């Protein structure tokens, strides 16, 4: 039976310069996956930087945007951080993603490297679970002008620097004043991001099917400032009212330094990311494994 995904791309996480042994390991992993994909009668494309860093120049290469335009499926080799970056860049193309995890089990990069062939073969032939996640669109407004804009799959975080005191933030939802918050910062997280920084700050976990966000203060001055769940159809505005050395982070991978009076606007993006998982994948099984929940039995 022919695979339903004919043009398959591979994007890998690669180490920095000088990490010779790690580079050799990365090359072996990517080459093994590339060979496996071609053996499945698929047309293989390596992401250009992945090919350059691993020396696998014998394969057809494209940049990430080219992969979005030309490929039917993208295999992301690494961890959740790698997947977040790729997901944001490919969201506008609708390219489905499969995550092969090099380390510990990830929340969204869930196929272990050992034995990936058994999990990947059915997916290439159309037997999989589809998992669609929303993206957040955020911008920093200064004097009525957008000075920074980014997508986020996990969260938008406004927080203080490591040596500064609390920040004061004015929060609005759909133009309606909510509160002034004095805290170390504030997190606006998607359901995907609810199991990341927001969870460690005391926020609830949102099932991916819930069209909502969670607003979580970081170490609030007033203990009555608690996490709140909002509809993702709303627009959240966070205005910097006080403090210093304040920044906005988007999936912790993009950064904007903020000034007093800056407003961070967060709304639902028109784009979504589609993850493909092996048949039988369960969100709750992932939580049990990742969070070490008791499963019962003897």
Kindly report the CATH number assigned to the domain that includes residue 257. Answer: 2.60.200.30
Give SS3 for 216.
strand
Instruction: Show which of 126, 155, 171 is a domain's final residue.
Output: 126
Confirm whether residue 257 is marked as ligand binding.
no
Answer for the pair 152, 138: CB distance below 8 angstroms, yes or no. yes
Confirm whether residue 118 is marked as ligand binding.
no
**Sign, Cα dihedral of 65, 67, 69, 75:** negative
Shared-domain flag, residues 43 and 114? yes
Shared-domain flag, residues 174 and 110? no
Give dist(CA 22, CA 166) in Å, integer.
Answer: 40
Confirm whether residue 97 is marked as ligand binding.
no
- Catalytic residue chosen out of the listed positions 80, 131, 232, 251: 80
Residue ranges of the chain whose pLDDT lies below 70: 1, 14-23, 105, 297-298
Q: Listing from the earlier edge strand, what are the strands of the sheet with 246-250?
A: 228-231, 212-218, 185-189, 155-160, 246-250, 254-257
Please, which residues bridge with residue 281 across strands? none
How many domains is the chain partitioned into structurally? 2
Shared-domain flag, residues 194 and 257? yes
Give dist(CA 115, CA 106) in Å, integer.
Answer: 16
Classify burial at 208, counting beta carbons within 10 Å of its beta carbon; exposed 0-12, middle 13-18, buried 19 or more: middle
Shared-domain flag, residues 202 and 260? yes
Confirm whether residue 23 is marked as ligand binding.
no
Shared-domain flag, residues 118 and 165? no
| pLDDT at position 162 | 73
pTM for the full predicted model: 0.91
Shared-domain flag, residues 76 and 145? no
Question: Is residue 80 annotated as part of the catalytic site, yes or no?
Answer: yes
Give dist(CA 298, CA 289) in Å, integer.
Answer: 17
Give dist(CA 225, CA 104) in Å, integer.
Answer: 34
Give dist(CA 159, CA 245) in Å, integer.
Answer: 9
Shared-domain flag, residues 157 and 93? no
Half-sphere exposure of residue 103: CA atoms within 13 angstroms, side-chain side: 12
Q: Is residue 287 a part of any domain in this protein?
A: no
| pLDDT at position 22 | 45
Answer for the pair 262, 243: CB distance below 8 angstroms, yes or no. no
Instruction: Show which of 89, 107, 126 is a domain's final residue.
Output: 126
Confirm whether residue 183 is marked as ligand binding.
no
Q: Is residue 23 a part of any domain in this protein?
A: yes
> Which residue stretches of the chain are H helix?
20-39, 48-54, 64-70, 80-90, 116-124, 197-200, 283-291
Shared-domain flag, residues 96 and 167? no
Confirm whether residue 201 is marked as ligand binding.
no
Give dist(CA 169, CA 183) in Å, integer.
Answer: 8
Confirm whether residue 55 is marked as ligand binding.
no
Q: Is residue 298 a part of any domain in this protein?
A: no
Shared-domain flag, residues 116 and 15? yes
| pLDDT at position 15 | 55
Shared-domain flag, residues 179 and 264? yes
Give the residue numbers spanning the domain of 154.
Answer: 136-270
């Amino acid at each position: 039976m022919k695979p339903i995904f004919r043009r398959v791309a591979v994007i890998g996480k690669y180490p920095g310069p000088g990490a010779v042994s790690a580079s050799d390991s990365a090359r072996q992993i990517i080459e093994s996956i590339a060979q496996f994909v071609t053996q499945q009668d698929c047309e293989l494309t390596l992401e250009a930087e992945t090919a350059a860093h691993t020396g696998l120049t014998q394969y057809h290469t494209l940049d990430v945007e080219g992969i979005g335009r030309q490929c039917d499926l993208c295999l992301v080799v690494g961890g959740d951080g790698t997947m977040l970056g790729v997901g944001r860049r490919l969201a506008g193309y609708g390219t489905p993603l499969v995550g092969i995890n090099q380390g510990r089990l990830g929340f969204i990069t869930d196929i272990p490297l050992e034995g990936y062939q058994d999990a990947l073969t059915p997916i290439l032939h159309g037997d999989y679970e589809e998992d669609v996640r929303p993206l957040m669109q955020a911008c920093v407004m200064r004097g009525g002008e957008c000075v920074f804009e980014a997508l986020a799959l996990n969260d938008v975080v406004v927080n203080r620097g490591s040596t500064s005191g609390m920040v004061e933030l004015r929060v609005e939802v759909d133009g309606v004043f909510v509160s002034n918050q004095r805290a170390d910062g504030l997190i606006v997280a998607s359901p995907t991001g609810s199991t990341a920084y927001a969870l460690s700050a005391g926020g609830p976990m949102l099932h991916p099917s819930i069209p909502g966000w969670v607003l979580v203060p970081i170490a609030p001055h007033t203990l009555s400032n608690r996490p709140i769940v909002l509809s993702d159809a709303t627009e959240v505005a966070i205005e910097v009212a006080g403090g210093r050395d304040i920044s906005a982070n988007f999936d912790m991978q993009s950064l904007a330094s903020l000034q007093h009076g800056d407003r961070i606007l967060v709304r639902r993006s028109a784009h979504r990311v589609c993850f493909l998982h092996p048949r039988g994948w369960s969100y709750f099984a992932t939580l049990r494994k990742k969070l070490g929940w008791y499963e019962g039995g003897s």
